[in-house]
Amino acid sequence: MAPAPPPFPHPRPLSKVFLLSVLPIAAWFILRPTLSPVPPLPGLLTSVGFSLLAFLATIYLVPALGPTFVKANLKGRDLLKTYDTPIPESQGLVCASVYILCLILFIPFAFSDALFPPVDAGKPQDGISVLEFPHHQLSMYLSSILSILMATMLGFLDDVFDIRWRHKLPIPIVASIPLLMVYFAEQGNTSIAVPRPVRFILGNLINLGPLYYLYMSLLSTFTTNSINILAGLNGVEASQALIIAISVALNDVLYLPFPLNFHLPLHLLGNRAEIEFGGTWSAGMAYGSKELVERHLFSLYFMLPMVGVCAGFLYHNWYPARAFPGDTLCYFTGMAFAVVGIQGHFSKTLALFFAPQIFNFVLSCPQLFGLMPNPRHRVPRLDPRTNLLHPSHTPFPHPPSKLSTLVLHTLSLLGLTQLTLHPKSGMIMEATNLTILNALLVRLGPMREERLVRVVVAVQVAGSVVAFVIRYGLAGMVYDGDRR
């Protein structure tokens, strides 16, 4: 007997009691810093409050604006379903709008220390402290928002105008221009730390100069497009963004000055550098460096609302999806990750959290670079009778080259693709598409869409755990201390 078809995508119901109970919590986080005694890191509390509000706004607005999107012809059919109901598309725009508005309204709070210095600080209260204002950080903050807003805009234009693939590629570069321009105008640091084994050749620091700008724009291109190409299942884009945002936020929290003391058994992970510090983290991993604390606070201010909007959106985007993210979501989240990686100077750590995306990109390379035909859609194929997903195949119209044959046979040996060989000549006639989704189906067998999404989520979470192990365990062997 065939399993029952998935339910018709009416908007997912919202529990008013739940939503209304989050509201006072958000209000407390926002109001608490205004009460005396002012807690340490008041901006962080406000940011948590704003993120809760962003969560509420997204979870409420996505279904509320659905019909408006459908009416404006921003709608799509779910390719992996048996029904044809139009689903609102590009609703990542709602997330992006809430996110950016949140970041902008947060500006005075991010700089509350400078604006409202504590009364007991013993400074003369003459009302004007413009000279002490961190203008440099404000420019950084503004250029970040500007880049994210440009990415949103360009993502939405992509959704409306359906821009061709080769015109799409430079979009993140264009969106990263404000970031790079301000970095340049501020004469930002373009040096990177050299790994220990090659220091005897290159020295401790190497100045990349203009190459650093290339590196930054490539980073944004990568973070943006890598989320965009690992797509096609309900909830897969938003959950990637959510997990990466949580991982970055957790990493940031490690650097905050906590009032409590605690030990982590870091030596178990093979780290040497940490042990020397005795393991007492009374000031987080920043070890009293104001600059490190500020960088990671900056990153938290961007990541917490991201967690809020992604969680709110995922509620409606989860299988069976009632809302699609469109390119807009991939672009604005990808750009936000690039922004914190660049401005917070932890792009290498960030890249570790993108491990599944990097794997997916490397796996896709033979198709992206012409060793194998590349169809428009590479999502798995739905068998409507069993409601199971199977890996999708792409046939070779011409016999593959020797290089292609070699690469594909290697991937097949690794269990990442399935080849259909000519019964007589043994020539490759077709192969499953080279994406992590199809590879998972090849390895684990056909499964239902919701199960595959859970597997992808598990892979991403596992990736983040491994990333933390590498960053705080193995990296100590290659880099000393906590540079980036």
d(CA 179, CA 193): 21
What is the distance, to the nearest Å, from the Cα of residue 189 to the centroid of all Cα atoms in its chain?
A: 24
Quick one: CA dihedral 406, 411, 414, 415, positive or negative? negative
* Smallest separation (angstroms) from a second copy to the CB of 155: 11
The residue among 93 and 439 lying less far from a second copy, judged by its C-beta, is 93
CB nearer to a second copy: pick between 103 and 311: 103
Nearer to a second copy, 111 or 396 (CB): 111
> Could you list the residues that contact a second copy (CB under 8 A)?
68, 71-74, 93, 100-101, 104-105, 107-108, 111, 115, 128-130, 133, 135-136, 138-139, 142-143, 145-146, 149-150, 152-153, 156-157, 160-162, 174, 177-178, 181-182, 184-187
End-to-end CA distance of the chain: 56
Residue placing its CB nearer to a second copy in the complex, 184 or 277: 184
CB of 242 to a second copy, least distance (A): 24
Cα distances from 275 to residues 104, 285, 397, in angstroms, run: 41, 12, 59
**Smallest distance, Å, CB 431 to a second copy?**
34
- Return the number of the residue (160 or 469) whose C-beta is nearest a second copy: 160
**Shortest distance in whole angstroms from residue 207 CB to a second copy:** 11
**Longest Cα–Cα distance in the chain:** 90
Shortest distance (Å) from residue 62 CB to a second copy: 15
DSSP 346-364: -HHHHHHHTHHHHHHHHHH
CB of 297 to a second copy, least distance (A): 16
Please report how close the Cβ of residue 379 comes to a second copy at its closest, in angstroms.
Answer: 24
Instruction: Write down the H helix ranges in 230-325.
Output: 236-253, 290-317
Burial 316-329 (b: 16+ CB within 10 A, else e): bbbbbbbbbbbbbb
CA distances from 106 to 109, 145, 149, 436 (A): 5, 11, 15, 38
Structure tokens at 411: 């991937």
Closest CA to 247 of 393, 123, 355, 160: 355
Which residue has tokens 């999107």?
A: 69
Q: Is the Cβ of residue 144 or residue 271 nearer to a second copy in the bound state?
A: 144
Query: What one-character-per-residue DSSP string does 211-222 give?
Result: HHHHHHHHHHHH
The nearer residue to a second copy, 104 or 119, going by C-beta atoms, is: 104
For a second copy, give the closer residue by CB, 159 or 274: 159
Name the minimum Å distance from CB 444 to a second copy.
40
Contact in structure between 156 and 197 (CB atoms under 8 Å): no
